[in-house]
Amino acid sequence: MRIYDPKQSENASAMHLSFAHLSDPHNPLTPNVKATQVLNKRLLGYLSWHRKRHLRHRPEVLTAMLEDIAAADLDHTIVAGDLTNIALPDEFAAARDWLKTVGPPQDVTVIPGNHDAYVRVPFAEGIGLWSPWMLGDDATDVTFPFVRKRGPVAFVMLSTSNPTPPLFASGTLGKAQLDRLEAVLDDLRGQDVFRVVVLHHPPEDYPTKRRKALRDRAAFRAVLARTGAELVLHGHQHHSHFGLISGPQGKIPVLGVPSASMALNSEKDDEARWNLINVRREDAGWRLSTHGRGLTPRGFETLGRWTLQVPLS
C-alpha cells in the first residue's frame, strides 16, 4: 500500500521529492573470519557481535524494512553509514551485494560510518566497492563531499569515517572537507534547491558521548551557521532524534534514526526505524514533512509525523 502519493501535479518531479532515510544496517558478520584478521581492534567487535550484537541486529528486520520502503514507492533512498560491523573485506563485498537489493545507484546514495572504518582498509577492498552509490553527479571518482541533485533536492554527502583507537567510535570531517562543504553550500544557495546535508555522526553536543562524538562538530555547525542548509540527516546513535542547529535564517532541523536492523526491545525502545521524507516547493518556500516508520509487533507502522515550512535560502 502506498504511504504517500507525490504525483499531485503535472510538474511533481520538478517540484517534489519523496525519499527514505535509514542508517546503521549492520549487515550480518561474514563467516570464515581468519584469526589474523582480528589481531587488532576488530577483535573487540568480533567478540561483541558473537556475544550480543547478532541478537539485536537481525537480517529479517532489515529485510522487512526494505519491503516497507519499497511499498512506499519513493523517489530515492539515503543510507547514512555503518553497513558493516568490523570492516572486513568480505563485509564490504556483502554490503555491496546488499546495496544492489536496496536499489540501483541512481536511486540510492550511501556514505560510510565509523564501523566501515574500524581499521584502515585499502579503498579498493573497502568502501571503494560501493563507488557507484557514492559518485556525485557527473563525477568519475569518489570525493567528499559529493552532491547528487534529485528533483528539487540537492543531497550533500559527507564522510566522518576515520579509523579510531579501541573503545572509540568518534568521527572527523577535517578542515579540507569542511572548506569544500562551505563552498558547495554557498554555490547551491543560489540555485533554488532544498539542501539536505548527510553525515553519519550527529552534529550536536548532546546526547552523544565524547568517545563516540563528531570531534569537529562545532566547526561543522559554524559552516552551516554561515551558509545555511534546509535539513541535516545522520545515524550512529541507534536512537531516533530530532534537533535544531543555527543557520543564517533561523534553525535547521536535524534528524537521526536508529539502526535499520535493530530488533524489538521493550527495555531500550530503540527498534528499527526509517524516515519517510517529503519535500515540496511552494510559493512561500518549502514544505518539509516526515513520517517516522518504526518496527512494532505488527510490522512497520507510522509512529509519528510532522510538517515544517522552510523559508527559501
- The pLDDT tens digits for 247-304 are 999 999 999 999 999 999 877 778 999 999 999 999 889 999 999 999 999 999 999 9
249-252 long-range contacts, Cβ below 8 Å, gap at least 24? Answer: 249/311, 249/313, 250/311, 252/224, 252/228
The whole-number pLDDT of residue 1 equals: 35
The whole-number pLDDT of residue 207 equals: 77
Sorted by where each begins, the domain ranges of the chain are 16-310
Q: Count CB neighbours of 183 within 10 A.
A: 13
Percent of the chain residues topping a pLDDT of 90 = 89
Q: What is the residue-wise DSSP string for 137-202? A: TT-SS--SSEEEEETTEEEEE--------TT---B---HHHHHHHHHHHHHHHTTT-EEEEE-SS-
User: Is the predicted pLDDT of residue 80 greater than 90, yes or no?
Assistant: yes
For 2-31, what is the mean pLDDT?
74
The whole-number pLDDT of residue 131 equals: 98
The whole-number pLDDT of residue 60 equals: 98
User: Is the predicted pLDDT of residue 3 greater than 70, yes or no?
Assistant: no
Place of cell 514533512: 289
For the stretch 21-72, pLDDT in tens is 999 999 999 999 999 999 999 999 999 999 999 999 999 999 999 999 999 9
The whole-number pLDDT of residue 48 equals: 96
Percent of the chain residues topping a pLDDT of 70 = 96
Taking the C-alpha atoms of residue 247 and residue 252, their distance in angstroms, rounded to an integer, is: 6
Cα Dmax for the chain: 61
For the stretch 226-252, pLDDT in tens is 999 999 999 999 999 999 999 999 999
Dihedral (CA of 128, 131, 135, 141) sign: positive
Q: How confident is the model at residue 7 (pLDDT cuts 50, 70, 90)?
A: very low
The whole-number pLDDT of residue 268 equals: 75
The whole-number pLDDT of residue 150 equals: 97
CATH topology of domain 16-310: Purple Acid Phosphatase; chain A, domain 2 (3.60.21)
Taking the C-alpha atoms of residue 12 and residue 10, their distance in angstroms, rounded to an integer, is: 6
All cell numbers assigned to 77: 533512498
Dihedral (CA of 79, 85, 87, 91) sign: negative
